[in-house]
Amino acid sequence: MQVKAPRGTYDILPPDSSKWHYLEKILRETAALFGYREIRTPVFEHTELFERGVGESTDIVNKEMYTFIDKSERSLTLRPEGTASCARALVEHSLYNGLLPVKWYYIGPMFRYDRPETGRFRQFHQFGVEAFGSNSPYIDAEVIILLVEILNKLGLKNYELHLNSVGCSVCRKEYREKLISYITPVKDRLCPDCRSRYQKNPLRVLDCKNEACHQAIAGYPTIYDSLCDECREHYASVRKALDDNGVSYKHDDNLVRGLDYYTNTAFEVHIPGIGAQSAVGGGGRYNGLVKECGGPDVPGIGFALGMERLLLALDNFDDLNKRMTDVFVAVMEGQYEDIGVKILTDLRRAGIRADKDYTGKSPKAQMKYADKLGAKLVILLGEDEVKNRFLTVRNMKTKEQVKVGHDEIIDFIKRELEVS
């Protein structure tokens, strides 16, 4: 019987893997530009980390975790997100005692037992950043500017940035009570999910996708109106910093995010047109998380982008995909294979992307293959070339052919590639 990849997972094959390289390059370069350095954490953690960090009333912890008992009877979970692991690592290595803020980024697979559809997988990839140790509204702005900069560099223009403040532990507590009192009389009109969770987590009713829930709670008190002075000021400063730096956003009263650790600033980026799962990224401040992970009271803020969704939004990869090599060495007669391989090695050692055929293709088929690989130049090696000690270089675009001496070939190819 044939064994297939598990539902919600997939293989990344060439040429698609080039898209990933391209995306990862932009993500890493932009993070470095803003002073964020890479952290790599384990793919599985103690289940308790996510229960405590992400929160027991969240969908992630309740329904979506890949949890298993290992051979020593420990409960472990494949990470559903990266923030809790970063907070754990900060505490474990006592980095809160060092130079602050600590600014990290990560790239890697995450796992959620979600219903697979376009843009939603069970193993997916996130790029995330986390900044620990500053409560300044300007670092909130920095993180959001970094997110927007990434989208700009990728050439994504039609994104929508939604922003809200979910308050601190004090004002949110009051707001929760207010919201529960508002919802209780209309609870029977809510969807089954909201009906069962509104007592524990009333804020989730605000971002329920079900239209009936929205109608039932129309006119609800907003969290913005319940913010304490400090939270209101913080939010105003974040907004001003974004305005000052030319970042457009929309204040969104319904934005509450699906993870429990958020405090104050919360944001999400949507790209309409990539399907029902239009949220390409989201994040916010989480001032209580480090303490929850056993550390001191250290604030934090960050975001994560869904890489599959970013790739869905990008459709300008054709050129990139086609060009798998720059130079193709076409050996016209089998007995000269050894010379062809030597030229190939010289090219590669000189840092030139080069390739050849290894399946005995005819000269005509080799030219077709070179074209398929996207080669700009083909080095032809036949009897005439070997006997008279030169090489023929064909420009695949102009179809021009020139004779070049063996000793000059590397310099010649480099010059040609520069102008092409």
Considering the complex, state which of residue 118 and residue 152 has its C-beta at the smaller distance from ligand HAM: 118
Paired tokens of 158: 């039609």
Burial class of 311 by CB neighbour count within 10 A (0 to 12, 13 to 18, 19+) = buried
Strands 279-285, 263-270: pairing is antiparallel
Question: What is the nearest approach in angstroms of ligand HAM to the Cβ of residue 393?
Answer: 46
CA distances from 88 to 52, 164, 171, 295, 337 (A): 11, 26, 26, 8, 56
Question: Distance between CA 290 and CA 132 in Å, rounded?
Answer: 9
Question: What is the nearest approach in angstroms of ligand HAM to the Cβ of residue 89?
Answer: 14
Considering the complex, state which of residue 304 and residue 377 has its C-beta at the smaller distance from ligand HAM: 304
CB atoms within 10 A of CB 34: 16
Considering the complex, state which of residue 205 and residue 391 has its C-beta at the smaller distance from ligand HAM: 205
Q: Which stretch binds ligand HAM (CB under 6 A): 77-85, 342-350, 359-367, 400-408?
A: 77-85
Q: Is 337 in the site for ligand HAM (CB under 6 A)?
A: no
Question: Residue 121: helix, strand or coil by DSSP?
Answer: coil
Considering the complex, state which of residue 77 and residue 126 has its C-beta at the smaller distance from ligand HAM: 126
Chain CA centroid to CA 310, Å = 7
Question: What is the nearest approach in angstroms of ligand HAM to the Cβ of residue 213?
Answer: 20
Sign of CA dihedral 216, 220, 224, 230: negative
Q: In the window 251-290, what residues touch ligand HAM (CB under 6 A)? A: 258-259, 279-284
Question: What is the nearest approach in angstroms of ligand HAM to the Cβ of residue 5?
Answer: 15
Considering the complex, state which of residue 47 and residue 395 has its C-beta at the smaller distance from ligand HAM: 47
Q: In the window 82-141, what residues touch ligand HAM (CB under 6 A)? A: 82-83, 112, 114, 119-121, 124, 126, 128, 130
**H or E element in which residue 263 lies:** strand 263-270
| Number of residues counted as binding ligand HAM (CB under 6 A) | 26
Question: What is the nearest approach in angstroms of ligand HAM to the Cβ of residue 224?
Answer: 20
Assess contact for 258 and 158: CB atoms under 8 A: no
Task: By CB under 6 A, name the binding residues for ligand HAM.
Answer: 81-83, 112, 114, 119-121, 124, 126, 128, 130, 258-259, 279-284, 302-304, 306, 308-309
